[in-house]
Amino acid sequence: MTEPLLAIRDLSKSFGTVQVLKSIDLSVNRGEVVSVIGPSGSGKTTLLRCVNFLESYDGGSITIDGVEVGYDEGRKPRGERALARMRAETGMVFQSFNLFPHLTAAGNVMLGLIKVRGKSKAEAHEIALHWLDRVGLSHRADALPAELSGGQQQRVGIARAVAMEPKILLLDEITSALDPELVGEVLEVVRGLAAEGMTMLMVTHEIAFARDASSRIVFMDAGTVAAEGPPAEFLATADDHPRLSAFLARFRASHF
Amino acid sequence: MLDAMLYALPFLMEGLWVTIEVSFLTVSISLAVGVVLGVALIYGPLPLRLLVRLFSDTIRGIPILVLIFFVYYGFPAIGIDLASFWAAVTALTLFKTAQVIEYVRGAVQSIPQGQTEAAMAIGLTFRERLTNVIFPQAMRRFLPPWINGVTDAVKGSALVSLLGVTDMMYSINQVIGRTYEALPLYILGAAIYFIINYSLSALSRRLERRFSFVQA
pLDDT in tens, B14-28: 899 999 999 999 999
pLDDT digits (tens, 9 = 90+) for B160-174: 999 988 888 999 999
- Residue B1 CA: distances (Å) to CA of A90, B133, B178: 74, 55, 15
Out of A85, A102, A145, the one facing B136 most closely (by C-beta) is A102
Cα dist from A68 to A43, A74, A76, A137, B170, whole Å: 21, 11, 11, 36, 67
Residue B153 exposed, middle or buried by CB count within 10 Å (0-12, 13-18, 19+): buried
Asked if B90 contacts A81 with a C-beta cutoff of 8 angstroms, the reply is no
CA of residue A239 relative to chain centroid, distance = 28
Instruction: Give mean pLDDT, residues B26-41.
Output: 97
C-alpha span between A87 and A99 (Å, rounded): 17
List chain B residues with CB under 8 Å of A96: 114
Nearest to A57 by CA among A75, A73, A37, A34: A75
B201 touches chain A (CB under 8 A): no
Any idea where the domains of chain B sit in the sequence?
2-211
Within 8 A of B215 by CB-CB distance, chain A residues are 101, 146
Query: Any idea what DSSP says for residue B133?
Result: I
On whether any CB of chain B is under 8 Å from the CB of A54, the answer is yes
Chain A residue nearest residue B139, CA to CA: A102
pLDDT digits (tens, 9 = 90+) for A167-203: 999 999 999 999 988 999 999 999 999 999 999 999 9
Query: What are the tens digits of pLDDT across the range A20-60?
Result: 999 999 999 999 999 999 988 899 999 999 999 999 999 99
Mutate to test the interface with B, among A100, A113, A121, A168 (most CBs of B within 10 A): A100
For residue range A196-245, list pLDDT tens digits in order.
Answer: 999 999 999 888 889 988 999 999 999 999 999 999 888 888 888 888 88
Question: What is chain B's Cα-based Rg?
Answer: 21
| Under 8 Å between Cβ of A85 and A164 | no
As a whole-number percent, the residues of chain B with pLDDT over 70 amount to 98
Smallest CA–CA distance from B124 into chain A, residue? A84
pLDDT band at B216, cuts 50/70/90? very low
pLDDT at A254: 63
3-state secondary structure of A57: coil
ipTM: 0.91
Tens digit of each residue's pLDDT (9 = 90 or more) over A110-119: 999 999 999 9
Task: State the pLDDT at residue B213.
Answer: 63
CB distance from A143 to chain B under 8 Å?
Answer: no
- Identify the three-state secondary structure at position A178: coil
Among residues A222, A201, A202, the alpha carbon closest in space to that of A39 is found at A222
A160 or A213, greater pLDDT: A160
Q: How many Å apart are CA A205 and CA A38, to the nearest integer? A: 8
Q: For chain A, which domains are there?
A: 1-89+174-256 (3.40.50.300), 99-165 (no CATH)
Quick one: pLDDT band at residue A255, thresholds 50, 70, 90?
Answer: low
Mean pLDDT of A149-158: 96
Query: What percent of chain B lies above the pLDDT cut of 90?
Result: 69
What CATH code would you report for B2-211? 1.10.3720.10
- Report phi then psi at B166, rounded to 5: -80, 75
